[in-house]
Structure 1
């Protein structure tokens, strides 16, 4: 498969993540070849205007890079199913976005000639164009076989992220860290806003927004190692 730096990008999964990543790569100069149907076609069309809506086999046929942005439980069977159906092309880049898996989950496709990549932008997606701005301030956990790790890192950079390499054996710990932050933060905010709403505070989310952001910023600053003074 010939590449000149510009890839035909197909997206399997039209939820909150896939269309946004497609839009980011389109902004980096790549071409969107197609996206599978989703539950909110208007939102997808707003993020990826003009992108062809196709069945998965046609997306795979047209694309040099395929983004698998599917639910956690569907990733392994989806990749295996494409491989078993003979839909994988030799040298095709196959990238998934699930924090819990490294590249081994794509082994059936890799055995058919695909290049397996795991790239997880560490952010919560809204599925709208607002996410594109957030991507530019986000790290991405990347995993790939050593020979193709630079490809995964380069794609993360083109998404706007700073790539951080996560070893295959460390993916479980990585996923636990991501889940802890997202679930705990959401639960705490929901509890606090509920308490304020019960005592009559209007717009409790707005009331707490500055407090939450400043507290999180302070906690992150405290967690960042200080640069030693060498003077």
Structure 2
């Protein structure tokens, strides 16, 4: 099934009027980027490609400066406050989640933010509340998170085509936000303020944990003597991902979905002997897979009983080992006798 076509704007986004409408006086935004990490530098370059003007950027580390020089050539590297003062239309904050609140408060406290200026951040975990200090001085808040993994190279620009952006915006900025996302080549997914942590947890669980899972599988293949695990995993995992996205739980295959308790027991025995650090994750995912297979009707409850027994016994053994390790790690708090 081919993907549906994505609408693109007929013209670049115009300057932002105080009411949130578009001014016809100019065809491009004056933009500043605070944080030229992997996300900020790429989105800045995408805005330039869409016809907007990035007048300044802020990046402290050597890698950030090099990335800005590559993706935003000729753009002055200034302090965050200077960038904010220069960005009369849009200030893009692409800083780590835990640093965002401090950056916003610092810019507001320094008088660097302007009434009517749109202050947008790229954090998936945060919504509009983190921008409260900017709103207090008259700026307008926007949460604009690209649902994509970034390398911080020009290759990322082609990957932006058609991706989704998790957007949280006040009613007066929804039109602007939609046009801005369209200029970036994406499609908005409107996320409520209270749902931002859940939205971000879903993306992190799917994308970040996928990397861990793939690397775990590759390591275990190497343990089994496979010299190039990526050649084994590439076609298999590519098909599994495609099937999961199109079929949901109907894409489940393998020993858990069939209730093959003996196979799973042998998996656990060999993992415990070869890579015990992989056992807890295998157990958790196998149990969750079994639950989903049962709920989807892929595995009958009575056929699942031997499998669930294997998983339960393995979890009990793991818990016993964990408690024993905790006891070993607890220092001896008994009073020591002093030799006479």
Both proteins in one fold, TM over 0.5 = yes
Question: Is 2:29 the partner of 1:7?
Answer: yes
Q: Take 2:183 and 2:228, find their aligned partners in 1: how far apart are those partners? A: 38
Q: 1:221 to 1:95 in 2, by over 3 A?
A: same
For normalisation by structure 1, the TM-score amounts to 0.91
Question: Is 2:44 the partner of 1:22?
Answer: yes
For normalisation by structure 2, the TM-score amounts to 0.63
Q: Take 1:5 and 1:164, find their aligned partners in 2: how far apart are those partners? A: 25
Q: CA deviation at 1:117?
A: 0.4
* Matched position secondary structure for 1:32: strand
Question: Is 2:192 the partner of 1:167?
Answer: yes
Write out per-residue CA displacement over residues 92-121 of structure 1, whole angstroms, 9 at most, x where no aligned residue. 111101111111210110111111000111
- Which consecutive unaligned segments of at least 5 residues does structure 1 have? 225-231
Q: CA RMSD in A?
A: 1.7
Question: Is 2:53 the partner of 1:31?
Answer: yes
* Matched position secondary structure for 1:218: helix
Tell me if the contact between 1:118 and 1:152 (Cα under 8 Å) persists in the aligned partners.
no
* Matched position secondary structure for 1:141: strand
Match of 1:118 in 2: 143
Q: 1:199 to 1:120 in 2, by over 3 A?
A: same
Structure number with the bigger relative contact order (C-alpha 8 A, sep ≥ 6) is 1
Tell me if the contact between 2:47 and 2:184 (Cα under 8 Å) persists in the aligned partners.
yes
Q: Take 1:211 and 1:137, find their aligned partners in 2: how far apart are those partners? A: 25
Write out per-residue CA displacement over residues 40-72 of structure 1, whole angstroms, 9 at most, x where no aligned residue. 132332222222111112111111211100011
Tell me if the contact between 1:10 and 1:65 (Cα under 8 Å) persists in the aligned partners.
yes
Q: Take 1:177 and 1:199, find their aligned partners in 2: how far apart are those partners? A: 32
Tell me if the contact between 2:33 and 2:94 (Cα under 8 Å) persists in the aligned partners.
yes
Match of 1:70 in 2: 95
Q: CA deviation at 1:209?
A: 2.0
Matches within 5 A, 1:131-146: 131-146=156-171
* Matched position secondary structure for 2:78: coil
Q: CA deviation at 1:127?
A: 0.8
Q: Take 1:145 and 1:130, find their aligned partners in 2: how far apart are those partners? A: 33
Q: Name the count of aligned residue pairs.
A: 224
Q: CA deviation at 1:206?
A: 4.2
Q: 1:26 to 1:211 in 2, by over 3 A?
A: same
Q: Take 1:199 and 1:45, find their aligned partners in 2: how far apart are those partners? A: 44
* Matched position secondary structure for 1:195: helix
Match of 2:268 in 1: none
Q: CA deviation at 1:168?
A: 1.1
Match of 2:82 in 1: 58
* Matched position secondary structure for 2:111: coil
- 2:244 corresponds, among 214, 219, 222, to 219
Q: CA deviation at 1:29?
A: 0.2
Tell me if the contact between 2:37 and 2:67 (Cα under 8 Å) persists in the aligned partners.
no
Match of 2:277 in 1: none
Q: Take 2:231 and 2:136, find their aligned partners in 1: how far apart are those partners? A: 51
Tell me if the contact between 2:81 and 2:110 (Cα under 8 Å) persists in the aligned partners.
no
